[in-house]
């Protein structure tokens, strides 16, 4: 027997923690569920995560590409009515990495030991997430595992496309911004000093713009170490502040309040939330459990806090649509659509359509942000470079006039 320390949610939705004794992490989880506790985290007495204990030392986390590959291939094999043990044996032979092969071997050992696929995957919850495992359990219970795996593969592909879209969309503006800062810094640090000896002979006769550029150049040249130290200190303090709960909440709240970009963040967060919520309801997961799992998909702490009361409202017997009457959904029609879905019994379909709508709005808003950001950075860079050049030419011309 091993003593496991756990953190979870009691039947009233409040957080609880304690110790439970069991032979394995899976047994500890099942014992907690039997006691009415929904486990969130289970650690051994030595503070090793339960997943790493069950991995037998293989603590390397699966990459998203490996999770997608496993899900897609397993869906194809189950669609062909291949038994689970044979499907796993085939996947292990074709595994592209040792990490994936180790994971499939652990699943194969669990299946041959009489466990379900869900029970065999429990130690790998940190790789797949609660939603994935809950849907696997629902698929095994209903006898539609092949359908669930296909849906999971589609959802993972959709999430990857959305993530890649955001990354690729922001890459060019970030590169452009970095190049702009470097260009101005190089001008001030290396180009302007070449004219310094010429301008020193003019004294106070130089134009104000030329004096300003020279002063900035001197500041960058002689205090660059202090500038870098200041920036590093600022980044360190900001990271420490954002690591606290209040600081992270405040920072995330500022992000979603930003013009345009805040709307992009909210729409993409809502898309993932509603898609997860809808998929869980579609597979027969109870609404309270679906709300809790969907809440974990919200990476923005401010939005997460606004959505947390939904679980308590539903448990108290109130309408779900009443919880969506907030500032985030003003003039969107979302509360009204959810209320209609409650009356017609089409909640899962409505939530999935809302996810598509918010994702589409997020993409279109992102396109507008990029359409504004790229020329704005170019114009600002051009204006700064032009100001420096004009200031230098002004100083040269003033020398000619003096002569």
Does residue 128 form part of some domain? yes
Same domain, 269 and 121: no
Does residue 246 form part of some domain? yes
Tell me which of 18-27, 178-187, 347-356 is least confident: 18-27
Q: What is the DSSP string of 17-78?
A: EEEEEESSHHHHHHHHHHTT-EEEEEEETT--BHHHHHTTT--PPPPHHHHHHHHHHHHHHH
pLDDT given for residue 47 in this prediction: 46
How far CA 2 is from CA of 49, 194, 287, 381, in Å, comes to 13, 73, 33, 62
Average pLDDT over residues 328-335: 81
From CA 308, how far away is CA 301, in angstroms rounded?
Answer: 10
Assessment of whether the complete model's pTM goes beyond 0.75 = no
From CA 353, how far away is CA 349, in angstroms rounded?
Answer: 6
pLDDT given for residue 46 in this prediction: 46
Same domain, 35 and 74: no
pLDDT given for residue 48 in this prediction: 42
Same domain, 196 and 295: yes
pLDDT given for residue 236 in this prediction: 92
Among 111, 139, 157, which residue terminates a domain? 157
Q: How many CB atoms lie within 10 A of CB 153?
A: 20
pLDDT digits (tens, 9 = 90+) for 307-322: 888 888 888 888 888 8
Does residue 391 form part of some domain? yes
Structure tokens at 101: 């092969």
Among 109, 125, 157, which residue terminates a domain? 157
In the predicted structure, residue 58 carries a pLDDT above the cut 70: no
Does residue 59 form part of some domain? no
pLDDT digits (tens, 9 = 90+) for 103-158: 888 888 888 888 888 888 888 888 888 888 888 888 887 778 888 888 888 888 88
pLDDT given for residue 403 in this prediction: 55
| Higher-pLDDT residue of 47, 225 | 225
pLDDT given for residue 353 in this prediction: 92
Confidence of residue 204 (pLDDT cuts 50, 70, 90): low
Nearest to 217 by CA among 242, 197, 236, 191: 191
Quick check: 40 and 8 in contact, CB under 8 A? yes
Average pLDDT over residues 384-391: 85
The total of structural domains in the chain comes to 3
Q: Which 3 state secondary structure label does DSSP give 114?
A: coil
| Residue 110's CATH number | 1.20.81.30
H/E element holding 3?
A: strand 2-9
Same domain, 213 and 106: no
Does residue 371 form part of some domain? yes
Q: Which domain holds residue 378?
A: 167-403
Show Cβ contacts of residue 49 under 8 Å, excluding neighbours closer than 6 positions: 41, 43, 59, 126
Same domain, 226 and 199: yes
Q: What is the DSSP string of 327-368?
A: GGGTTT-HHHHHHHHHHHT-HHHHHHHHHHHHHHHHHHHHHH
pLDDT digits (tens, 9 = 90+) for 228-237: 899 999 999 9
pLDDT digits (tens, 9 = 90+) for 346-359: 888 999 999 889 98
Give percent of the chain above pLDDT 70. 91
């Amino acid at each position: 027997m091993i003593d496991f320390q756990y953190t979870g949610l009691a039947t009233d939705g409040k957080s609880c923690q304690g110790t439970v004794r069991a032979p394995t992490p899976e047994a500890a989880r099942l014992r907690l569920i039997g006691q009415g506790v929904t486990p969130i985290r289970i650690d051994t007495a030595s503070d090793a995560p339960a997943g790493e204990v069950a991995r037998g030392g293989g603590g390397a986390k699966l990459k998203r590409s490996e999770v997608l590959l496993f899900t897609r291939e397993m869906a194809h094999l189950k669609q062909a009515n291949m038994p689970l043990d044979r499907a796993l044996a085939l996947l292990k032979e074709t595994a592209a990495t040792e990490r994936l092969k180790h994971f499939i071997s652990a699943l194969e050992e669990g299946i041959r030991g009489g466990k379900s696929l869900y029970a065999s995957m429990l130690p790998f919850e940190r790789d797949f997430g609660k939603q994935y495992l809950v849907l696997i359990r629902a698929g095994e219970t209903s006898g539609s595992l092949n359908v669930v795996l296909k849906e999971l593969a589609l959802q993972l592909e959709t999430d990857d496309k959305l993530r890649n879209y955001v990354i690729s969309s922001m890459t060019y503006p970030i590169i452009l911004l970095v190049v702009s800062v470097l260009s101005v810094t190089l001008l001030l640090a290396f180009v302007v000093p070449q004219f310094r000896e010429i301008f020193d002979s003019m004294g106070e006769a130089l134009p104000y713009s030329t004096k300003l550029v020279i002063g900035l150049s001197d500041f960058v040249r002689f205090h660059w170490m202090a500038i870098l130290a200041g920036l590093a200190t600022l980044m360190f303090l900001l990271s420490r502040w954002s690591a606290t709960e209040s600081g992270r909440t405040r920072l995330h709240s500022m992000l979603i309040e930003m013009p345009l970009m805040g709307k992009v963040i909210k729409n993409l967060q809502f898309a993932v939330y509603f898609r997860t919520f809808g998929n869980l309801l579609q597979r027969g997961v109870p609404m309270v459990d679906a709300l809790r799992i969907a809440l974990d998909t919200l990476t923005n702490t401010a939005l997460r806090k606004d959505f947390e009361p939904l679980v308590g409202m539903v448990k108290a017997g109130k309408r779900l649509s009443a919880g969506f009457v907030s500032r985030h959904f003003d003039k969107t029609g979302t509360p009204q659509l959810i209320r209609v879905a409650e009356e017609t019994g089409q909640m899962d379909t409505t939530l999935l359509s809302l996810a598509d709508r918010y994702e589409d709005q997020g993409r279109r808003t992102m396109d507008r942000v990029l359409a504004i950001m790229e020329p704005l950075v170019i114009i600002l860079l051009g204006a700064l470079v032009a100001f420096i050049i004009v200031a230098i030419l002004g100083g040269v011309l003033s020398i000619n006039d003096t002569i």
